Each structure stands twice: as structure tokens, then as C-alpha cells.
Amino acid sequence: MKDKISVLISEDKIQARLKEMGKQISEDYKGKRIHALGILKGCYVFMADLLRYIDPSIEVSCDFLTISSYGDQTKSSGVVKLLTDLTIPIDHKDILVVEDIVDTGKTMKYLLDNLNTRSPKSVKVCTFLDKPSRREVEVPTDYIGFEIPNQFVVGYGMDAAQIYRNLPYLGVMEEGE
């Protein structure tokens, strides 16, 4: 590993929290279907684990879109781009947006505005991480895995210059490496 990375949230803690979130989501969506929309690429590890903690009695379908806002740096460009769109219509569906992290909120705002033009029945947001101190735009966050301070994190789906997504824990890059 090129950079020095320390563990912020362990694999065990992540899994325990996801189990709780899965239970909560299962209660909230009892008798309904969930159409989960993952925001690539950061969501893929979280989404795979979370959906398996949702009660099997609930019908879950999923689709993905790719949004870029960061380029290859650790600072947001502030310019949000839709790189690949959904493959399944969302009208009249109960949508659960699955995101890795809500930071400034710009990505989520852009996405929710976009989704709301497509007549979904309901839209809720589920994010693995929330960095509330960085928020620039108000966005709803219905389910939050962990609130974290203003630190750049990697692992568990999240990257720095496209690497470290495979780490099973959440790590922090140490400064000056």
C-alpha cells in the first residue's frame, strides 16, 4: 500500500450497523417493494452488503447510475455530471437511493432533482456516511450509517484516485504522505 491509511471504522462495526439499517428499512417498507438505485461507483460495496440485510419477504429490485463530481482528486470539483443513466423506468416506484457519502450535498441534490422529474411514487435516501460539517446544499437523508468528521475517507467502496475501494473497513488517509 502506497499511502498510510488508518482504520476509522472497522469491518465488524460496519457490518453491525448495516444489520440495524437493514432491519429498520425492512420495517419501514413492510408490504412494499423497494427499487434501490445505487450511485456508482462508490455505492457498490455498501449496497451489496446492505441489501442482503433487508428481510427476504420484501421484494427488492435494483438499478445503477454513474455520477461524477470528484475527478481524481480529493476535493470536489462542484461540477456534477451524469455519466451513465438508469436502465429501468422509476415511475410509480418506491425508490431508495443508495449512496456512499453525502458531503457538500451537491451530488444528491442534482440526482434528486433529476429523479423527481420521472414520477417516482416515493424517494428516500440511504447513505453509508454523512459529513454534515461540509454541507453546502440541504438534502434529505433518511438513513445514515455513520456520521463522520471532515476527513477524506477511503475503503468500503470509496476511493482515492480510483484505488482502495476493496478495503473491507473505512480508512483515513494520513496527511503528508
Residues noted as catalytic: 103
Binding residue for Mg ion (CB under 5 A) from 38, 42, 145, 155? 42
| Window contacting ligand IMP (CB under 6 A); options: 8-16, 20-28, 88-96, 150-158 | 150-158
Query: 44-83 mask for Mg ion (x: CB under 5 A)?
Result: ----------------------------------------
Q: Kindly determine how many residues on this chain lie close enough to bind ligand IMP according to the rule CB under 6 A.
A: 16
Output b/e per residue, 18-49; b: 16+ Cβ within 10 A. Answer: beebbeebbeebeeeebbbbbbbbbbbbbbeb
Q: Which residue(s) pair with 130 in the sheet?
A: 102, 147
Q: Please give the single-letter amino acid code of residue 149.
A: P
Helices 11-28 and 44-51, interaxial angle, to 10°? 60
Residue 42 as a binder of ligand IMP (CB under 6 A): the answer is yes
Q: Please give the single-letter amino acid code of residue 152.
A: F
Residue 106 binding partner per list ligand IMP, Mg ion, none, with a CB distance cut-off of 5 to 8 Å that depends on partner kind: ligand IMP
Binding residue for Mg ion (CB under 5 A) from 25, 49, 51, 100? 100
Residue 114 binding partner per list ligand IMP, Mg ion, none, with a CB distance cut-off of 5 to 8 Å that depends on partner kind: none
Between 25 and 101, whose beta carbon lies closer to Mg ion? 101
Q: Which helix (H) or strand (E) holds 45?
A: helix 44-51
**Residues within window 72-131 making contact with ligand IMP, judged by CB under 6 A:** 76, 99-107
Contacts with 98 (C-beta within 8 Å, 6 or more apart), sequence order: 36, 37, 38, 39, 43, 46, 47, 50, 126, 127
Residues at the site binding ligand IMP, with contacts judged by CB under 6 A: 42, 69-70, 76, 99-107, 152-153, 158
